[in-house]
Protein backbone atom coordinates (compact mmCIF):
# COMPACT_ATOMS: atom_id res chain seq x y z
CA UNK A 1 0.00 0.00 0.00
CA UNK A 2 1.05 3.58 -0.56
CA UNK A 3 1.14 4.27 3.18
CA UNK A 4 3.79 1.62 3.78
CA UNK A 5 6.17 3.22 1.27
CA UNK A 6 5.92 6.51 3.09
CA UNK A 7 6.78 4.75 6.35
CA UNK A 8 9.89 3.06 4.95
CA UNK A 9 11.02 6.29 3.30
CA UNK A 10 10.88 8.41 6.45
CA UNK A 11 10.63 6.16 9.51
CA UNK A 12 12.01 8.71 11.96
CA UNK A 13 9.45 11.40 11.19
CA UNK A 14 6.63 8.80 11.26
CA UNK A 15 7.56 7.31 14.62
CA UNK A 16 8.08 10.73 16.13
CA UNK A 17 4.61 11.78 15.02
CA UNK A 18 3.16 8.61 16.54
CA UNK A 19 5.02 9.29 19.77
CA UNK A 20 3.60 12.81 19.95
CA UNK A 21 0.15 11.44 19.21
CA UNK A 22 0.51 8.96 22.07
CA UNK A 23 1.53 11.71 24.45
CA UNK A 24 -1.38 13.83 23.24
CA UNK A 25 -3.87 10.98 23.75
CA UNK A 26 -2.66 10.23 27.29
CA UNK A 27 -2.65 13.94 28.14
CA UNK A 28 -6.13 14.35 26.65
CA UNK A 29 -7.54 11.47 28.71
CA UNK A 30 -5.92 12.76 31.91
CA UNK A 31 -7.19 16.30 31.34
CA UNK A 32 -10.70 15.07 30.51
CA UNK A 33 -10.62 12.91 33.63
CA UNK A 34 -9.52 15.79 35.82
CA UNK A 35 -12.14 18.08 34.27
CA UNK A 36 -14.83 15.49 34.90
CA UNK A 37 -13.62 15.09 38.49
CA UNK A 38 -13.83 18.83 39.13
CA UNK A 39 -17.10 19.39 37.24
CA UNK A 40 -19.29 17.92 39.98
CA UNK A 41 -21.61 16.29 37.43
CA UNK A 42 -21.12 12.85 38.91
CA UNK A 43 -21.52 11.72 42.50
CA UNK A 44 -18.54 12.67 44.60
CA UNK A 45 -15.61 10.25 44.25
CA UNK A 46 -17.04 8.24 41.34
CA UNK A 47 -14.38 10.00 39.29
CA UNK A 48 -11.85 11.14 41.89
CA UNK A 49 -9.25 13.72 40.94
CA UNK A 50 -5.88 12.50 39.68
CA UNK A 51 -4.13 13.80 42.79
CA UNK A 52 -6.46 11.78 45.04
CA UNK A 53 -5.82 8.61 43.05
CA UNK A 54 -2.06 9.21 43.07
CA UNK A 55 -2.10 9.81 46.82
CA UNK A 56 -4.08 6.61 47.31
CA UNK A 57 -1.65 4.71 45.10
CA UNK A 58 1.30 5.95 47.16
CA UNK A 59 -0.49 5.10 50.41
CA UNK A 60 -1.26 1.62 49.09
CA UNK A 61 2.33 0.99 48.02
CA UNK A 62 3.55 1.99 51.47
CA UNK A 63 1.06 -0.23 53.26
CA UNK A 64 2.44 -3.59 54.53
CA UNK A 65 -1.11 -5.02 54.54
CA UNK A 66 -1.26 -4.53 50.77
CA UNK A 67 1.86 -6.64 50.28
CA UNK A 68 0.49 -9.35 52.57
CA UNK A 69 -2.68 -9.55 50.46
CA UNK A 70 -0.71 -9.34 47.24
CA UNK A 71 1.43 -12.25 48.45
CA UNK A 72 -1.68 -14.32 49.21
CA UNK A 73 -3.12 -13.68 45.75
CA UNK A 74 0.16 -14.27 43.90
CA UNK A 75 0.78 -17.55 45.70
CA UNK A 76 -2.80 -18.68 44.98
CA UNK A 77 -2.31 -17.86 41.30
CA UNK A 78 1.08 -19.61 41.24
CA UNK A 79 -0.33 -22.82 42.74
CA UNK A 80 -3.38 -22.62 40.45
CA UNK A 81 -1.16 -22.22 37.40
CA UNK A 82 1.02 -25.11 38.56
CA UNK A 83 -1.94 -27.46 39.12
CA UNK A 84 -3.96 -26.39 36.09
CA UNK A 85 -0.89 -26.00 33.90
CA UNK A 86 0.67 -29.40 34.63
CA UNK A 87 -2.70 -31.16 34.20
CA UNK A 88 -3.35 -29.17 31.04
CA UNK A 89 0.07 -29.96 29.55
CA UNK A 90 -0.22 -33.68 30.34
CA UNK A 91 -3.78 -33.94 28.97
CA UNK A 92 -2.81 -31.88 25.93
CA UNK A 93 0.25 -34.06 25.20
CA UNK A 94 -1.77 -37.28 25.51
CA UNK A 95 -4.64 -36.02 23.34
CA UNK A 96 -2.24 -34.55 20.80
CA UNK A 97 -0.30 -37.81 20.48
CA UNK A 98 -3.33 -40.12 20.20
CA UNK A 99 -5.86 -39.13 17.53
CA UNK A 100 -8.35 -41.74 18.76
CA UNK A 101 -8.33 -40.46 22.35
CA UNK A 102 -8.54 -36.91 20.99
CA UNK A 103 -11.69 -37.81 19.07
CA UNK A 104 -13.18 -39.36 22.18
CA UNK A 105 -12.32 -36.73 24.80
CA UNK A 106 -11.26 -33.50 23.12
CA UNK A 107 -14.84 -32.38 22.30
CA UNK A 108 -15.53 -32.24 26.05
CA UNK A 109 -12.56 -29.95 26.65
CA UNK A 110 -13.17 -27.94 23.49
CA UNK A 111 -16.80 -27.20 24.30
CA UNK A 112 -16.36 -26.77 28.07
CA UNK A 113 -13.51 -24.32 27.45
CA UNK A 114 -15.60 -21.26 26.61
CA UNK A 115 -18.13 -21.61 29.45
CA UNK A 116 -18.15 -19.25 32.44
CA UNK A 117 -15.98 -20.98 35.05
CA UNK A 118 -16.89 -18.75 37.98
CA UNK A 119 -20.32 -20.42 38.23
CA UNK A 120 -18.49 -23.52 39.49
CA UNK A 121 -17.38 -21.52 42.52
CA UNK A 122 -20.20 -22.77 44.83
CA UNK A 123 -19.09 -26.35 44.09
CA UNK A 124 -15.43 -25.44 44.66
CA UNK A 125 -16.36 -23.96 48.06
CA UNK A 126 -18.07 -27.19 49.05
CA UNK A 127 -15.13 -29.29 47.86
CA UNK A 128 -12.17 -27.18 48.97
CA UNK A 129 -13.53 -24.93 51.71
CA UNK A 130 -13.88 -21.16 51.96
CA UNK A 131 -10.13 -20.52 52.27
CA UNK A 132 -7.35 -20.41 49.69
CA UNK A 133 -8.25 -23.90 48.42
CA UNK A 134 -11.38 -22.85 46.58
CA UNK A 135 -9.62 -19.86 44.96
CA UNK A 136 -6.76 -22.05 43.79
CA UNK A 137 -9.30 -24.53 42.45
CA UNK A 138 -11.07 -21.75 40.53
CA UNK A 139 -7.78 -20.55 39.02
CA UNK A 140 -6.68 -24.09 38.14
CA UNK A 141 -10.06 -24.98 36.61
CA UNK A 142 -10.02 -21.77 34.55
CA UNK A 143 -6.52 -22.19 33.14
CA UNK A 144 -6.68 -25.94 32.51
CA UNK A 145 -8.86 -25.63 29.40
CA UNK A 146 -6.94 -23.10 27.27
CA UNK A 147 -3.63 -24.79 28.13
CA UNK A 148 -4.86 -28.29 27.28
CA UNK A 149 -6.43 -27.09 24.01
CA UNK A 150 -3.38 -25.15 22.85
CA UNK A 151 -0.96 -27.97 23.76
CA UNK A 152 -3.06 -30.57 21.93
CA UNK A 153 -3.22 -28.32 18.86
CA UNK A 154 0.54 -27.67 19.09
CA UNK A 155 1.29 -31.41 19.24
CA UNK A 156 -0.53 -31.96 15.98
CA UNK A 157 1.60 -29.30 14.31
CA UNK A 158 4.94 -30.91 15.16
CA UNK A 159 6.80 -31.75 11.98
CA UNK A 160 6.25 -35.46 11.32
CA UNK A 161 9.91 -35.87 10.39
CA UNK A 162 10.93 -35.12 13.99
CA UNK A 163 8.58 -37.81 15.27
CA UNK A 164 9.90 -40.26 12.65
CA UNK A 165 13.48 -39.57 13.70
CA UNK A 166 12.53 -40.42 17.29
CA UNK A 167 10.76 -43.59 16.19
CA UNK A 168 13.68 -44.72 14.04
CA UNK A 169 15.93 -44.40 17.09
CA UNK A 170 13.40 -46.63 18.88
CA UNK A 171 12.82 -44.02 21.57
CA UNK A 172 10.58 -45.09 24.45
CA UNK A 173 7.39 -43.06 25.09
CA UNK A 174 9.17 -41.24 27.93
CA UNK A 175 12.16 -40.46 25.71
CA UNK A 176 9.82 -39.35 22.92
CA UNK A 177 8.18 -36.94 25.36
CA UNK A 178 11.34 -35.46 26.85
CA UNK A 179 13.57 -35.53 23.73
CA UNK A 180 11.16 -34.88 20.85
CA UNK A 181 7.74 -33.58 21.91
CA UNK A 182 8.63 -31.14 24.69
CA UNK A 183 11.55 -29.40 22.86
CA UNK A 184 9.46 -29.11 19.68
CA UNK A 185 6.57 -27.79 21.75
CA UNK A 186 8.38 -24.95 23.50
CA UNK A 187 6.47 -22.26 21.65
CA UNK A 188 2.94 -23.71 22.08
CA UNK A 189 3.64 -24.44 25.75
CA UNK A 190 4.77 -20.87 26.44
CA UNK A 191 1.76 -19.53 24.56
CA UNK A 192 -0.58 -21.87 26.42
CA UNK A 193 0.85 -20.78 29.75
CA UNK A 194 0.44 -17.15 28.74
CA UNK A 195 -3.24 -17.70 27.93
CA UNK A 196 -3.64 -19.76 31.08
CA UNK A 197 -2.01 -17.16 33.33
CA UNK A 198 -4.39 -14.42 32.22
CA UNK A 199 -7.37 -16.66 32.85
CA UNK A 200 -6.01 -17.97 36.15
CA UNK A 201 -5.66 -14.37 37.38
CA UNK A 202 -9.29 -13.68 36.47
CA UNK A 203 -10.57 -16.93 38.01
CA UNK A 204 -8.67 -16.50 41.27
CA UNK A 205 -9.49 -12.82 41.76
CA UNK A 206 -13.16 -13.14 40.87
CA UNK A 207 -13.42 -15.91 43.45
CA UNK A 208 -11.75 -13.62 45.97
CA UNK A 209 -14.26 -10.84 45.31
CA UNK A 210 -17.13 -13.29 45.83
CA UNK A 211 -16.08 -14.84 49.12
CA UNK A 212 -12.81 -14.38 50.96
CA UNK A 213 -11.05 -12.46 53.71
CA UNK A 214 -7.62 -12.10 52.08
CA UNK A 215 -6.11 -11.20 48.74
CA UNK A 216 -6.31 -8.48 46.12
CA UNK A 217 -9.86 -9.41 45.11
CA UNK A 218 -10.91 -9.05 48.73
CA UNK A 219 -9.26 -5.61 48.94
CA UNK A 220 -11.09 -4.49 45.78
CA UNK A 221 -14.51 -5.60 46.98
CA UNK A 222 -13.74 -4.16 50.42
CA UNK A 223 -12.92 -0.79 48.87
CA UNK A 224 -16.27 -1.03 47.08
CA UNK A 225 -18.11 -1.89 50.28
CA UNK A 226 -16.77 1.16 52.16
CA UNK A 227 -16.95 3.31 49.00
CA UNK A 228 -13.23 4.13 49.02
CA UNK A 229 -13.14 4.89 45.29
CA UNK A 230 -9.56 6.27 45.10
CA UNK A 231 -8.31 3.06 46.72
CA UNK A 232 -10.33 0.95 44.29
CA UNK A 233 -8.83 2.81 41.34
CA UNK A 234 -5.36 2.40 42.81
CA UNK A 235 -5.92 -1.34 43.29
CA UNK A 236 -7.27 -1.77 39.76
CA UNK A 237 -4.33 0.16 38.29
CA UNK A 238 -1.83 -2.04 40.15
CA UNK A 239 -3.73 -5.18 39.16
CA UNK A 240 -3.72 -4.19 35.48
CA UNK A 241 -0.01 -3.34 35.62
CA UNK A 242 0.74 -6.75 37.15
CA UNK A 243 -1.46 -8.67 34.67
CA UNK A 244 -0.30 -6.83 31.55
CA UNK A 245 3.32 -6.92 32.75
CA UNK A 246 3.27 -10.67 33.38
CA UNK A 247 1.66 -11.22 29.99
CA UNK A 248 4.28 -9.10 28.23
CA UNK A 249 7.06 -10.92 30.09
CA UNK A 250 5.88 -14.34 28.92
CA UNK A 251 5.25 -12.89 25.47
CA UNK A 252 8.90 -11.81 25.36
CA UNK A 253 9.96 -15.32 26.38
CA UNK A 254 7.83 -16.75 23.58
CA UNK A 255 9.44 -14.38 21.10
CA UNK A 256 12.90 -15.46 22.23
CA UNK A 257 11.96 -19.14 21.97
CA UNK A 258 10.71 -18.55 18.42
CA UNK A 259 13.91 -16.78 17.41
CA UNK A 260 16.01 -19.52 19.02
CA UNK A 261 14.28 -22.09 16.87
CA UNK A 262 14.20 -20.10 13.67
Q: Does 229 bind other proteins (CB under 8 A)?
A: yes
Q: How many residues does the chain have?
A: 262
Taking the complex as a whole, the smallest distance from the CB of residue 247 to other proteins amounts, in Å, to 4
What's the CA gap between 109 and 226, in Å, rounded? Answer: 40
For other proteins, the binding residues in 86-105 under the rule CB under 8 A are: 99-105
Long-range contacts of 169-178 (CB under 8 A, 24+ apart): 177/93
Q: Does 11 bind other proteins (CB under 8 A)?
A: no
Instruction: Tell me which residue of 46, 60, 30 sits closest to 235, measured CA to CA.
Output: 60
- Taking CB under 8 A as the binding criterion, the range among 20-28, 80-88, 132-140, 177-185 that sits at the site for other proteins is 20-28
Judged by CB under 8 A, the residue of 63, 111, 157, 169 near other proteins is 111
Interface mask toward other proteins for 30-69; x: CB under 8 A:
----------------x-----------------------
Exposure string (b/e) for 128-152, b if CB count within 10 Å is 16 or more? Answer: eeeebebbbbbbbbbbbbbbbbbbb
- Taking CB under 8 A as the binding criterion, the range among 80-88, 107-115, 131-139, 170-178 that sits at the site for other proteins is 107-115
What's the CA gap between 120 and 54, in Å, rounded? Answer: 37
Judged by CB under 8 A, the residue of 34, 224, 238, 257 near other proteins is 224
Instruction: Tell me which residue of 17, 64, 13, 54 sits closest to 33, measured CA to CA.
Output: 54
Long-range contacts of 239-246 (CB under 8 A, 24+ apart): 239/205, 243/198, 243/201, 246/197, 246/201
Taking the complex as a whole, the smallest distance from the CB of residue 169 to other proteins amounts, in Å, to 26
Judged by CB under 8 A, the residue of 118, 158, 176, 253 near other proteins is 118
What's the CA gap between 134 and 128, in Å, rounded? Answer: 5
Q: Does 115 bind other proteins (CB under 8 A)?
A: yes
Interface mask toward other proteins for 193-222; x: CB under 8 A:
-----x--xx--xx--xx------x--xx-
Q: Quick one: 210 exposed, middle or buried, by C-beta within 10 A (0-12, 13-18, 19+)? A: middle
Enumerate binding residues for other proteins (CB under 8 A): 1, 3, 14, 17-18, 21-22, 25, 46, 99-105, 107-108, 111-112, 114-116, 118-123, 126-127, 156, 198, 201-202, 205-206, 209-210, 217, 220-221, 223-224, 227, 229, 232-233, 236, 239-240, 243-244, 247-248
Amino acid sequence: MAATHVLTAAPAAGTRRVLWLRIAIVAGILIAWQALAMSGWLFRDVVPSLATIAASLVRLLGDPAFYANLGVTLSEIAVALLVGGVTGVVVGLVLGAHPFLARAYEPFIYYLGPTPKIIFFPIMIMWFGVGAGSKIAMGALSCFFPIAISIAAGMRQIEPVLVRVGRSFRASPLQMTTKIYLPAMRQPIINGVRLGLGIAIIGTLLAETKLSNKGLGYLIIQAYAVFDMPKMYALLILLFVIAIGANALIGGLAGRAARGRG
